[in-house]
Structure 1
Amino acid sequence: KENKVIWEVVSEEKETALTGFFQTLAAAAESSDKLKVIGLKKGRYMIRTRPQRLYIERFGCLTKHVMPVELSPDGMIMRVANRHYSLKDCVETYTCSAEALSSGIPLCEQFIGTGYHEKVRMLGDFGSNLYITEKEDVQPK
């Protein structure tokens, strides 16, 4: 996609990768995102996002749709709330093979203005996620 940039670093052992998923401008009615991680040894891998927080200021004027009173997004009340309250952004965890990763795995859906919950990614304009991929230790039976 034109509005996505992915940077990846793979360890020398080819068992760990760090992938940055960056969005330039958000697009309306965009299709689902996929994450590709290439260059890993064959095997099973666990992929997880680095946890991050979402501050109220990120929602801007959308807050007026859920508040009983209208508050200025740049006003004192919202600035104070932003200092003391934040939401946990979607923490994704996947387990799959190196082959699946090289083809691309589907990611959780992005926030589109309504219906925020724990499995929705909140990227918006110039948002990003950091994915950590590590080979699972498989013990022989």
Structure 2
Amino acid sequence: MNQLANCPQCNQLFLKTTIQTVCNKCFEEEERSFDLVYKFLRKQSNRQSTIAEIVDATEVDEELILKFIRLKRLQISQFPNINYPCERCGQPIRKNKLCSQCEQDINAQISQMNQEEERKREIESRKKDTYYAINPKND
């Protein structure tokens, strides 16, 4: 669904889509940058480059290169020395959005929350099954 938004780079109004997150002018600039990076990486000798080396050679901003990786425009499986930061802790990773340690930590937290919810449900069900006798008053 299209949405009117300000370009995060130049602040110009544009119609934001799921594919295009910047205005047309900035989008064209990103495309030129992508072409520079892609041409650099197509050379066999440059396929072992790190992101820092790509930035130095092409003068394309690191965040833009990371955006190309996140959008899967650059397939890092073909480039063994390229990695990107974990979205939680910043550790370098090559697949998914989280490193294995953050993934394990989040899974442990989810498991703990599920156990607490189960315990609360069990306590509530016990309360429903308990009957209390009311003693008549002795006069």
Q: Same fold (TM over 0.5)?
A: no
Higher relative contact order (CA 8 A, sep 6+): 1
TM-score, normalised to structure 1, is 0.23
- Name whichever structure is richer in strand by fraction: 1
- Name whichever structure is richer in helix by fraction: 2
TM-score, normalised to structure 2, is 0.23
